[in-house]
Structure 1
Amino acid sequence: MRKQYLSAPLPFVGQKRMYIKDFKEVLKQFPDDAVYVDLFGGSGLLSHITKWEKPDATVIYNDFDNYSQRLNNIERTNALLAEIREIVGNFPRRERLSPEIREKILHLLDEEGKNGFMDYITLSTSLMFSMKYATDLDGLKKESFYNTVRQSNYVCDGYLDGLQVVSCDYKELVAKYRNIQNVVYLVDPPYLSTEVGTYRMRWRLSDYLDVLSVLVGSSYIYFTSDKSDILELCQWLGKNHWGGNPFAEAGQKSMHRTMNYSSSYTDIMLYKTVFNKAT
């Protein structure tokens, strides 16, 4: 039986699991048979939910960060975590691991890394506290280890079913689908002024502004935060007639997020349809 995932099967910075309820509600305003192009697919969660909610739709998942490679190696990752659990043994949960245990784990990963792909992002979540990730062995070697080892296997059965998976620059997809009717862009770029260490892209302000050109005249669901000041910038552009505001008349849903006792921000989802839902 096909399973609906409400969070990505493997860890990924910026996945929209907290937005799933609102995202589903917003999707109802868009056609059931549209072409949904997930320009910055990330973990694929938005693509997965879109295909689940609209089975007749064509959903393009741009896996620019090679998340599917991590999914394809999930059994290998589970096997490594089983070995790590044995090394850790009965060491107290969430306590800092001893130097001896840490060295044994690093030796295991060093040796296994010689035999093929390693999902360091997933493995590091079992050795470091939440919101901290390492993308390679060198990154892990710089960190203290804690017993946060996952006690169950990861599963991803059917997660990508029905999706068209591609991996390319988002501009290639825009060029391909720009003149096709019934297209909806799902746009979730790494947030401006936010840590993007686990993403492959390295963006500047101009890159974020380039994305806004995709929204003009298009149907879209776009994600940002109040840390980026993108909304304020677009309002200024529209007010001063510098190309208009792509978010004019867009719907909006917001969610306050707390990172820690001294840090918080607001997630923002904007959406607009330029065609009748019954089309």
Structure 2
Amino acid sequence: MSADVAERIVQGPVRARLARVADVHQIVDDFAHADLSQTEVLFTSWGCPPVTAEVLARAPRLRAIVHAAGSVKHHVTDAVWQRGIAVSSAASANAEPVAEFTLAAILFANKRVFDIARAYRDLRANADWDARYPGFGNYRRTIGVVGASRIGRRVIELLRPFDFEVLVSDPYLHEDLGARKVDLDELVAASDVVSLHAPDLPETRHMIDARRLAAMRDGATLINTARAALIDQDALTAELLTGRLFAVLDHTEPEFLPTHSPLYELPNVLVTPHIAGSLGGELARMADLALDELSRYARGLPFAHGIEPTTLSRSA
């Protein structure tokens, strides 16, 4: 993993627990000068370089990769799968803060919290908020979840205690998640909030395009805690400039918007700098899950959160 990630993740209790279960040799940033001849498991996180065939040739004893973060696509290459190396990911641990962020965004969006807070700040006085935001609130609203991913499924679970109708759209979903399955066009047209949780794949690029944005209800909110490529951002910006829709965007193209972007100033937009996922104290949840997996491996048990190469083509 990168040096800054190692400093944040492999510290205190994590370092002590890691040392109890394994003989640890730290590799930071790249494999170029690392002695991998005795390495049996790679304990990785963000910033891990690709584990290529050349790297594997120098690691004849490598049997597993335990990833203390989400997606493994950035560093687990075809050569890893071809050699039969077991791979585990802490994606389910990273899903939790994203789902929590999404739930908060949904509740605040329907309650018009950001808009009322801004108006209250400008007015410095009370106002008839019902008149300004007719029908605002969370009772009997329709929430559309796009993508039955780990995060999408967790969002659906978190929504159960509320008085919502929950819709879900995912072409690979064949089970009952307690939400009504519909196609994407029906979902965007029927939802008060559309929340994106699909992977970035060629077939999902700009799935939320000008046509689907135009089909959304007046006053609806689009939440993106997934990937920026899912949205045609130019089309979204044009729609947001009209004031008809609202948006909560934790991902944008580029990842950090240029200073002149109108999205910073629009009153109907909340832009955050990719903070929905694990940060701060939440990193420990991923580390703990990865250490649990490493402990299972040390005891000869299969991973509880193993990754199958056949599922990568439709995952984040």
Same fold per TM (> 0.5)? no
Normalized per residue, which structure has more helix?
2
- If the length of structure 2 is used for normalisation, what is the TM-score? 0.26
- If the length of structure 1 is used for normalisation, what is the TM-score? 0.29
Task: Work out which of the two has the higher radius of gyration on C-alpha atoms and give 1 or 2.
Answer: 2
**Using CA pairs below 8 Å that are at least 6 residues apart, which structure has the higher relative contact order?**
1
